[in-house]
Amino acid sequence: MARPKGAWSEKKFRDALNLAVSEEGPGGVRKLRLIADRLVDAALNGEVQAIKEIGDRLDGKPAQAIIGGEEDDPAIKVLAEIRRTVVDPKAAG
């Protein structure tokens, strides 16, 4: 049976990682659990990137600020222009 095309169809690296982290590591513990433990240890040791990663995974990434949006600096500027042009048929010909 063919795999459906789209975002999930050809994710070979993702598939390989899923297999790898699902395997048993030392002491019969799944490798994914060992990775999570190391991430937590790094955060406890003060590694800012590990702290940020845990926060992003647990609480979600912070929303990005929208630049503009104030009354004097709108996020989207709408420009409209109406022109009236009078053409002299004698000058155009």
Alpha helices in the chain (DSSP H): 12-22, 31-44, 48-59, 89-92
Residue 90 lies in a domain: no
Helix (H) or strand (E) holding 42, with range, is helix 31-44
**Is 37 a domain residue?**
yes
State pLDDT tens for residues 46-63. 999 999 999 999 998 888
Range of the domain at 32: 13-64
Residue 47 domain flag: yes
Q: Can you give the pTM of this predicted structure?
A: 0.56
Domain count, the chain: 1
Cα–Cα distance measured from residue 51 to residue 5, given in angstroms and rounded to the nearest whole number: 36
Q: Is residue 57 part of a domain?
A: yes
**pLDDT for res 29:** 92
- Please check whether residue 79 lies inside any domain of the structure: no
pLDDT of residue 6: 60
